[in-house]
Structure 1
Amino acid sequence: MATRRDERTRESRRLLVAAAAELFAEKGYRRTSFIDIADQAGISRGSIPWHFGNKLGLLEAVLDDQLHAVLTGLPPSDAAGDALNQVMDFIRLPATRLFITLLAEAVETGSPIREHHARLHAALRQGVQTRIPAHAAPPGTTPEALTVLLVGTVIGVHAQWRVAPEAVDLEAVQATIRALLPPSLGLA
């Protein structure tokens, strides 16, 4: 049975993860401090190492939390409906902004978050690939390569939309993706 202290601990952890996710998306990993996160969460900064060990531990918790939210929001592979709409909805998610902001730091040589971001991309690819029917890949391609293409497309479209939203018509992009991808993907 959970005690009041257990509940406070879970709530503190949740608030810290939410604050860090917002700040990492806004400022990046390197430019976000424990003080920033503690102030945003309204919790003592000493709570961060107590809950997560260090800043990388907090990053791992943030990525796990955001990835779980994204993947549970995707339809099951056998669900009816327009999967492309849900792929396009991913572009608008706050988690996608976080992933893109961190990507800019992760590609730098010697980045402390590179490994974490590589695991995130692997999990995203796996989540998308499980939703692509085995027979859906066009001739001469593989489901794995198609998955890399889809994840890369979403990342690229999101980055362009964030930088110049007035120049990126997401509905037109969605129509173009629908026209280019084979109907066997079940995206129509």
Structure 2
Amino acid sequence: MATRRIQRTEESRRLLVAAAAELFAEKGYRQTSFVDIADKAGISRGSIPWHFGNKLGLLQAVLDDQLHTVLTAFDEQAGDPLDQVMDFIRLPAARLFITLLAEAVEDGSPIREHYARLHAALRQGVQARIPAEALPAGTSAEAFTVLLVGAVIGVHAQWRVAPEAVDLDAVRTLLERMINV
């Protein structure tokens, strides 16, 4: 019986994280309520504080889950690290990261610290996957990773706003040329 209860608890948590990720990506953190999340997940809203403590705890669980998804996708996809980074733009997690960025940069944002940790983990994950020979001469891995992640975030934001105006394949080709200069 305890095993079944553990399974239900894990399933409830998973459903809440998935619902919150989708709603945070769609509406933003501030505009998403416990009621919205509970309704989407089909679970009592009282389950949210029980599982996560508060809304920021749920946000951290969402960010951890989405970062894990992104880094796992990188690991499972063999090939050029630049292709992997460009493919990130098309992942559902990328939309979440961009939506939350708008809130994270505001003064006094309750999610700034969580978002900063996400970026640090994302940079660390990307940097670990870039072979030293891919770095332009005289460039530190840290600086290269900051530039690459920043470029991808900027390209992704433009693509989300006007996909017809952004040719991701052309951007990838240009980024590769710039790196190999």
Q: TM-score, normalised by structure 1?
A: 0.91
Residue identity in the other structure for 1:8: R
Residue identity in the other structure for 2:19: A
Q: Is the 8 A contact 1:13 1:51 kept in 2?
A: yes
Q: Does 1:137 align with 2:152?
A: no
Over 4 Å off, 4+ runs: none
- Name structure 1 gaps, 5 residues minimum: 184-188
Q: 1:116-135: CA deviations, max 9, x gaps?
A: 00000000100111122235
Residue identity in the other structure for 2:57: G
Q: 1:140-159: CA deviations, max 9, x gaps?
A: 32111000001001100110
Q: Does 1:39 align with 2:39?
A: yes
Superposed displacement of residue 55, structure 1: 0.2
Q: Is the 8 A contact 1:20 1:62 kept in 2?
A: yes
The DSSP-based 3-state class of the residue aligned with 1:75 is: helix
Bigger mean CA offset, 146-155 vs 1-10: 1-10
Matches within 5 A, 1:25-174: 25-75=25-75, 81-174=79-172
Superposed displacement of residue 2, structure 1: 5.9
Distance 1:49 1:87, change over 3 A: same
Residue 186 of structure 1 is matched in structure 2 by: none
RMSD in angstroms over aligned alpha carbons? 1.7
Residue identity in the other structure for 1:101: T
Q: Is the 8 A contact 2:28 2:100 kept in 1?
A: yes
Q: Is the 8 A contact 1:136 1:143 kept in 2?
A: no
- Name structure 2 gaps, 5 residues minimum: none
Which has the larger share of helix? 2
- The CA distance in 2 between the partners of 1:10 and 1:182, in whole Å, is 46
Distance 1:2 1:146, change over 3 A: farther
Q: Does 1:179 align with 2:160?
A: no
Superposed displacement of residue 83, structure 1: 2.1
- The CA distance in 2 between the partners of 1:93 and 1:73, in whole Å, is 9
Aligned residues: 181
The DSSP-based 3-state class of the residue aligned with 1:100 is: helix
Residue 17 of structure 2 is matched in structure 1 by: 17
